[in-house]
Amino acid sequence: MTPKAKWDDYTPGSIAGVVAHERGHVIRSLGDPPDGAMVISQQSFPTRAVLQYEDSIRPTPEARLQLIAHWVKAVHLPPQVPQTFVTQVLFREDTLDVWLPVQTALIPAFRDELRRGDRVSLWVSYVGAERPPRATAIDWVFVVNAWRAEVSRTRLPTSDDVPLVHRWVVIVRRPDARIDLDTAHVSPTGEGRRAWVRWSLSMRPADSADFQIVKWDIDCHHAESRILSTEDHDQAGAVRRTVNDSTAPRLPILRASPWYEAASIICRF
């Protein structure tokens, strides 16, 4: 996170809007070609922008990492921060394609949870701009600190749109809750397991009650977990609401809860 910027400081806006605001100052500061130069922003303009994910990931160019390193020093962030932005991801904002350095911890979720064309909210900070020697184009650099998928019913289908086929098995059945595990999609992580579970506040089968499908990340060593996505379904199985959140915090799993019983089973799976 940028210095003195809390999540509530990120205001709705656009990358193009920040560029338009800063363009005059940056052009004056960079001077005329052919000399290369950079401008470090003293204001991060924390912005929550909605872009389209283009499903392309590559290493962050060295010139950009150097700009980020200068920015980190100027705003008194820890010196290791540039190493968290060694990978950048391609997005589209309206007709503008933008490569954005993304925190390393967020990259696996992009690969696992998004498909090309998905709309995402990005929490971005403006770093600055640079122009390489003998170049005329200005490279505007922003970094991504968090993201959240946006539900979109207008996204065009792509070749990646293959439905996930669940294989449900009951693992917890209590008077106040029922939890089913998708045995076809349990994957190990560095700290435990990632799995799809289906639960409802009823002992009845999920297809006869309102239920929720959850993508669950479990830390088996510390009895903690976080919810990566949720789908609310009605009794007919129709999706009422979908929420994805890569920034969800890890929370303790209460020992007396049905979730603790479910986690214990999944961690042995």
CB 89 within 8 A of CB 113: no
Q: Which residue in 94, 109, 20, 87 sits closest to 50, CA to CA? A: 94
Q: What is d(CA 154, CA 132) in angstroms, rounded to the nearest whole number?
A: 39
Q: Which CATH architecture has domain 7-150?
A: Beta Barrel (2.40)
Same fold, 7-150 and 168-267: no
- Domain residue spans in the chain? 7-150, 168-267
Residue 50's Cβ-count burial label (10 Å; 0-12, 13-18, 19+) is middle
Percent of the chain with pLDDT over 90: 29
**Structure confidence by residue, pLDDT tens digits, 231-265:** 877 655 555 556 666 667 888 999 888 999 999 99
Rounded to two decimals, the pTM is: 0.57
Total residue length of the chain: 269
Q: What integer best gives the mean pLDDT of the chain?
A: 82
Kindly indicate the confidence band of residue 143, based on its pLDDT and cuts at 50, 70 and 90: very high
4 falls in which pLDDT band (50, 70, 90)? very low
pLDDT computed for residue 153 by the predictor: 41
The pLDDT > 70 percentage for the chain reads 82
CATH topology of domain 168-267: Lipocalin (2.40.128)
